């Protein structure tokens, strides 16, 4: 019963899926899609995923895209219990809110900042985009003020999604969380609990970081 | 006990919550929150929602923001059955994927085209942003070729979220779906099935359209 994952290791959303699959205990067949070489636009991949994004999960013919939908699916379908994605409506709602926050605010503000620099040849820092990113980090720091984990008192897929994002931010600008102590503490807390964290997440974040830092070096 | 909804009717995410609540049969206590006038920056509001955006619900002291999380919560907690948000992991995964698509691609790209004009005084439409928006419409058109509704063979919260968005697009630009027949017919199908559509969505979409129209009329001519 093979589960294929089309992915790139430098991609934060892909790594959230890798972390989730490992914690759930599901074996994944990894298939690299090199976006920089346009492999996502090949006809065979477009047939599977007309949106041509990664990550893309193919569970014996059942295809899911959107990392956070994939993470939820893996727990809903294969989890031995619901710890990573609690079934209680209120607990689940908080996890969901953090997942949408990650997509629409936290990672989004970071992407708005780095995409022009890393992929569009921008050679200056956009201060207003940096401000939006700081606002997002501040919100997350605030969420963590009275909670040890992103969505309550134990690790969930909200943490896995957000740590893929946060580790990528940190690889791009190493001291980025100096003003956000709660985020720093939370990262350390999560790392110690996530199976194979280094191989499944840190390595890929570092690849992103290297690419990002050489682009940043060109900034006046 | 009714749930408080802090909202503005022009806001598409707020309307997806209104449609969902009506279909689930949950009573909402509507609290108009004028973000232009700073209602969302008051200390009482920030206490409920540090992100100070809308919609936010207060369910007897349980605060929640993010419209799609709210819609899911309303079905998970209050619906008589799981029709609007099926529990089957595969079907639910497709609903979830469409919800994330709505936030991150569909509505997001619409905002990138129109918000600079409506909120930041831009006097021209960004052509490459418009091209990206057309790409998003193409994706939804493709999804609607896979199923009768957004995610499966019946109406779900994926449709409600996407209808809130799509109706907003149409109110802003009456020809926006001219090249997307599946989106057009899906919208008509959904309108007929969504309870109290005029109150829960149409009126608010029209309000957004009027606001957008006023800003668009100030654009430099091509």
Choose among A64, A103, A143: nearest Cβ to B103: A103
pLDDT at residue B89, as a whole number = 98
Contact (CB<8Å) B97/A100: no
For residue B71, give the chain A residue with the closest CA.
A93
pTM of the predicted protein model: 0.98
Choose among A62, A66, A94: nearest Cβ to B100: A66
Catalytically annotated residues of A: 11
Contact (CB<8Å) A142/B50: yes
How far does A205 lie from chain B, in Å, by closest CA? 22
Q: Which residue has the tokens 């492999």?
A: A39
Size of interface A-B (CB pairs under 8 A): 84
| B113-171 residue pLDDT tens | 999 999 999 999 999 999 999 999 999 999 999 999 999 999 999 999 999 999 999 99
Exposed / middle / buried, residue A47 (Cβ in 10 Å: 0-12, 13-18, 19+): exposed
Q: Inform me whether the C-beta atom of residue B108 falls under 8 Å from chain A C-beta atoms.
A: yes
Rounded Cα distance, B214 and B191, in Å: 26
Choose among A69, A93, A103: nearest Cβ to B73: A93
Rounded Cα distance, A187 and A190, in Å: 5
pLDDT per residue of chain A (220 residues) written in tens, 0 to 9: 779 999 999 999 999 999 999 999 999 999 999 999 999 999 999 999 999 999 999 999 999 999 999 999 999 999 999 999 999 999 999 999 999 999 999 999 999 999 999 999 999 999 999 999 999 999 999 999 989 999 999 999 999 999 999 999 999 999 999 999 999 999 999 999 999 999 999 999 999 999 999 999 998 6
The alpha carbon torsion through A189, A69, B26, B3 (nearest 10 deg) reads 30
pLDDT over 80 at B30, yes or no: yes
Rounded Cα distance, B221 and A24, in Å: 56
Of chain A residues 146-185, which have a CB less than 8 A from chain B?
none
For residue A76, give the chain B residue with the closest CA.
B89
Residues on chain B touching A99 (C-beta within 8 angstroms): 69
Contact B190, B159 (CB under 8 A): yes
For residue A112, give the chain B residue with the closest CA.
B112
Q: How far is CA B137 from CA A107, B105, B109, B131, B148, in A?
A: 23, 9, 10, 10, 16
Contacts (Cβ under 8 Å, ≥6 apart) of A137: A106, A169, A176, A177, A179, A180, A183
CA B139 to chain centroid, in Å, comes to: 17
Contact (CB<8Å) A64/B51: no
| Region of residue A38 (left: phi > 0; alpha: psi -120 to 50; beta: else) | left
pLDDT at residue B221, as a whole number = 64
Q: What is the mean pLDDT of chain B?
A: 97
Q: Inform me whether the C-beta atom of residue A142 falls under 8 Å from chain B C-beta atoms.
A: yes
- Mean pLDDT for the stretch of residues B13-29: 98
Of A81, A90, A86, A68, nearest to A20 (Cα)? A68
pLDDT over 80 at B183, yes or no: yes
Read off the pLDDT band of B1 (50, 70, 90).
confident
Of A16, A11, A1, nearest to A32 (Cα)? A11
Rounded Cα distance, B96 and A73, in Å: 9
Q: Inform me whether the C-beta atom of residue A50 falls under 8 Å from chain B C-beta atoms.
A: yes
Choose among A51, A76, A103: nearest Cβ to B139: A51
Give the number of other Cβ atoms within 10 Å of residue B218's Cβ. Answer: 10
CA B109 to chain centroid, in Å, comes to: 13
Contact (CB<8Å) B66/A101: yes
pLDDT at residue B63, as a whole number = 98
Of chain B residues 43-62, which have a CB less than 8 A from chain A?
50-51, 62
Kindly report which listed range (B25-29, B62-66, B83-87, B215-219) carries the lowest average pLDDT score.
B215-219
């Amino acid at each position: 019963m093979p589960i294929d994952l089309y992915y790139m290791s430098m991609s934060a959303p892909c790594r959230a899926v890798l972390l989730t699959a490992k914690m759930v205990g599901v074996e994944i067949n990894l298939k690299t899609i090199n976006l920089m070489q346009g492999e996502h636009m090949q006809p065979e991949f477009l047939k599977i995923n007309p949106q041509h994004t990664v990550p893309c999960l193919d569970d014996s013919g059942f295809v899911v895209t959107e990392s956070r939908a994939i993470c939820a699916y893996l727990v809903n379908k294969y989890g031995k219990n619901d710890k990573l994605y609690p079934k209680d409506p209120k607990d689940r709602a908080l996890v969901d809110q953090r997942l949408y926050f990650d997509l629409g605010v936290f990672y989004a503000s970071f992407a708005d900042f780095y995409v022009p620099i890393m992929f569009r040849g921008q050679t200056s820092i956009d201060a207003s985009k940096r401000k939006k990113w700081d606002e997002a980090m501040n919100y997350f720091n605030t969420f963590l003020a009275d909670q040890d984990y992103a969505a309550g008192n134990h690790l969930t897929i909200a943490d896995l999604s957000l740590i893929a994002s946060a580790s990528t931010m940190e690889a791009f600008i190493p001291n980025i969380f100096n003003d956000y102590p709660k985020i720093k503490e939370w990262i350390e807390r999560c790392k110690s609990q996530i199976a194979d964290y280094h191989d499944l997440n840190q390595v890929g974040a570092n690849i992103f970081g290297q690419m990002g830092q050489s682009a940043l070096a060109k900034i006046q | 006990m009714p749930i408080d909804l802090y909202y503005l009717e022009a806001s598409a995410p707020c309307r997806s919550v209104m449609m969902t609540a009506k279909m689930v049969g949950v009573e909402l206590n509507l609290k108009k929150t004028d973000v232009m006038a700073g209602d969302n920056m008051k200390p009482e509001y920030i206490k409920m929602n540090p992100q100070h955006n809308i919609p936010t619900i207060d369910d007897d002291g349980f605060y929640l923001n993010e419209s799609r999380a709210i819609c899911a919560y309303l079905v998970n907690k209050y619906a008589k059955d799981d029709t609007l948000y099926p529990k089957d992991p595969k079907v639910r995964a497709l609903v979830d994927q469409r919800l994330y698509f709505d936030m991150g691609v569909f509505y997001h790209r619409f905002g990138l085209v129109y918000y600079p004009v409506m909120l930041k005084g831009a006097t021209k439409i960004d052509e490459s942003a418009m091209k990206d928006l057309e790409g998003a419409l193409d994706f939804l058109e493709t999804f609607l070729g896979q199923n009768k509704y957004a995610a499966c063979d019946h109406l779900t919260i994926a449709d409600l979220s996407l209808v809130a968005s799509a109706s907003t697009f149409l109110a802003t630009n009456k020809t926006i779906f001219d090249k997307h027949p599946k989106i057009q017919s899906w919208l008509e199908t959904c309108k007929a099935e969504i309870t109290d559509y005029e109150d829960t969505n149409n009126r608010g979409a029209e309000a957004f359209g009027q606001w957008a129209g006023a800003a668009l009329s100030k654009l430099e001519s091509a």
